[in-house]
Structure 1
Amino acid sequence: MNFLLSQISHICNRKILLLRKEEIMNQELIKNNIVFRLISKEEFAHIEKQAEQEPRSRFPYQKWNDLYLIYKSMIPNPLNGYVVTLLITDIIMKELGLSNTELFEFAQKNTPKRTGVVLCGLDEISKDINVPAVIPTDTDVWHFPMEKQSPILLSNHNGLNASALILCDSVMDKIIKHYNTSVLYILPSSVHETIIYPDSANILISKFKNKIHDANRNPSLVPSGDRLSDHIYKYTCATKTFEML
């Protein structure tokens, strides 16, 4: 536990978001705030390079199509309302008594609980904002469009790092129920949100891919640090599987 303490203390001091050590060392506090995030290969390479400089900072991850899945704990600071974001390393995972599979399964269930879910019809959202301006922290927003074939935008309460919500069965099951379709198409508009279309005869994969490609190269639309992928993903509802297109 000594390394765990020193690692967390270092992160807290660096971020100037200090918590009492007894709060940070509470394993249940760390575990209960674990979420996963989808990141680009470029961001993954940056994190991996930092970890190579300190062997004890090796971290669990999963390759997911052209992206990577990593784990973090969003530890709340009751003193000022801020959050200390802690990368889950191999050592922390071991201290928590979790295997790689258990870590994924826990994060899959916990992420929507910890970050919340905000879903809105894409056509109903202002071009200047991604999510409604005011959202109670304990309330999810499931604002499906009236038109069944209209796309939706999926994000979370603070509109940050929400793309991994597509990997949460509890979220996708509600989307499937609304559309009553066998296939969904997911556009990774950024690390912060995804756009989801139900299958229809009007779906043009090449058009979608061109739009994503162009948006990712326009910093006014998608800042370089927010880029996720140039691909779109086909989600087969019956098997809950993804195919990169």
Structure 2
Amino acid sequence: MYDFEEFKNVMEQMVKEKFSEGYQVERHKVIKNNQLELDSLVILAEDTNVSPQFYMQQLYPRYEQGETMEQLVADIVSTYHETAKNNRFDSENLTLEACREQIIYRVVSLEKNEEQLAEVPYIPFMDLAITFHCLMVQDEHGIASFRISLDLMQKWGLDHQMLFTIAQNNTMKRFPISICRMETMLYEFFQQTDHESSLDDIMQTGDENIWGNRAFWAKSREGDPYVLTNSSKINGAAVVLYPQCLQHIGENIGGNYYLLPSSIHEMIIMPENATMSRKELCEMVTEVNAQYVEQDEVLSDAVYYYSCVNKTLQICNG
């Protein structure tokens, strides 16, 4: 079995052998969310400078678990061609007209991404930063996107607020809210086949009765937590920015509540009547982030509190 350094070298060579003239296969160091550095394999055709990134740190565990090098290379080749077929962006056609409907936003840690944020448009939101991205691909296999730079925003003639307005409309449309009971998510995580999710377990904004469905929200009266994310469960923490989302949650659970940033992908809704104290909630978030959440998926160590009377979300101290 190859060690990681050998794996990277062999993988690069094997992928190069799969692509004829007209393609370049290169390795790069890439800084991801929260300053995580990854080794990326990039395949570029002569007529484009846009390519999906294949991360060695994600491929190597699959190799360790038994996938062969040939299987991994075949997956890379297939994914590349599928992405290239669906992708219509390159540096020559990144006009606002071409990109407008693909502009979305995400939320990331403000402190952990200070260096990267110096080069991109962002809007501070408590201890977070709202960043802007352009979707290249969104299909059943996932999504591919690139971060919008300050230069590109200026080229489009937009300011931060204009970019936010466009991104909000698109993000809400492409990634509607999804809410489920915590117990439902745990069932899915542990692959309990004897549990069948019903409309009372998982609700999306596409469902007519997400707000006002008494059966769905009944458990909140007992202090049970809910998971707040989007329909793709990717970068779902950004749904807290959707207009009236937080207000509707408060109305449906019947009171104030906490939001626990379990990752960039979701928030945990914890009714104020839950048995855990603020101090315990803060300690739990910090511990989970340190021990269980991948470095590039950590959102914040803070706990947020929503007041139904004031209609405000703020960081609360333990």
Class of the TM-score when normalised by the shorter of the 2 chains: 0.7 to 0.9
What secondary structure, in the 3-state scheme, does the structure 2 residue paired with 1:112 have? helix
C-alpha distance in 2 between matches for 1:241 and 1:146: 24
Partner of 1:152: 226
**Secondary structure in structure 1 of the residue aligned to 2:168:** helix
Which is strand-richer, 1 or 2? 2
**Does the 8 Å CA contact 2:217/2:253 hold for their aligned counterparts?**
no
Please say if 1:72 is aligned against 2:72.
no
Query: What is the CA–CA distance in structure 2 between the aligned matches of 1:59 and 1:115, rounded to whole Å?
Result: 22
Q: Which residue of 2 aligns with 1:229?
A: 300
Aligned match of 2:63: none
**CA offsets 1:188-208 (integer angstroms, 9 cap, x no match):** 011111001233374510010
Matched, 1:213 2:318: no
Mark the runs of 5 or more structure 1 residues left unpaired by the alignment: 1-8, 52-57
Q: How far did residue 157 of structure 1 move?
A: 2.2
Tell me, yes or no, if the aligned pair for 1:109 and 1:168 is still in contact at 8 Å: no
Alpha-carbon deviation of 1:21? 4.8
Higher normalized contact order (CA 8 Å, seq sep 6+, divided by chain length): 1
In structure 1, C-alpha distance between the alignment counterparts of 2:310 and 2:166, rounded to whole Å? 20
Deviation sequence 1:62-98 (CA, Å, 0-9, x none)? 22222222111223378x9764302122232234343
For this pair of structures, how many residues does the alignment match?
Answer: 220
d(CA) in 2 for partners of 1:21, 1:47: 23
Q: Could you say which residue in structure 1 is the equivalent of 2:120?
A: 59
Alignment partners' CA distance in 2, 1:85 and 1:224: 20
Q: AA paired with 2:219?
A: E
Match of 2:281, SS? helix
1:102 aligned partner, one-letter code: M
Question: Is 1:171 matched with 2:232?
Answer: no
What's 2:103 paired with?
A: 34
CA gap of 1:21–1:37, structure 2 versus 1, over 3 A, is: closer
Kept in 1: contact 2:52–2:144 (CA 8 A)? no
Q: CA RMSD in A?
A: 3.3
CA distance in structure 2 between the partners assigned to 1:127 and 1:42 by the alignment: 34
1:196 corresponds to which residue?
269
Give the whole-Å Cα distance in 1 for the aligned partners of 2:205 and 2:179: 15
Aligned partner (choices 185, 208, 224) of residue 125 of structure 1: 185
TM-score normalised by L of structure 2: 0.59
Q: Could you say what secondary structure the match of 2:218 adopts?
A: coil
Deviation, structure 1 residue 101: 1.6
Amino acid at match of 1:172: L
Shift of 1:120: 0.4
Aligned to 1:244: 315
- Spell out, residue by residue over 1:164-216, the C-alpha distance to the aligned partner (whole angstroms, 9 max, x if none): 111212432432331232x3211001111100123337451001011111111
- Larger Rg computed on CA atoms: 2
The answer on whether the counterparts of 1:119 and 1:153 sit within 8 Å (CA) in structure 2 is: yes
Unaligned runs of 5+ in 2: 1-47, 54-79, 191-196
What is the TM-score of this pair, normalised by structure 1? 0.74
Q: Counterpart in 2 of 1:45? A: 114
Partner of 2:146: 86
CA spacing shift, 1:198–1:28, aligned 2, 3 Å: farther
Does residue 162 (structure 1) correspond to residue 236 (structure 2)? The answer is yes
Percent of aligned pairs sharing the same letter:
25
Residue identity matched to 1:158: S
> Is the 2:177–2:205 contact (alpha carbons within 8 Å) kept by the matching residues of 1?
no
In the alignment, does 2:188 pair up with 1:114?
Answer: no
Report deviation, 1:229: 1.3
Q: Secondary structure at the match of 1:243?
A: strand
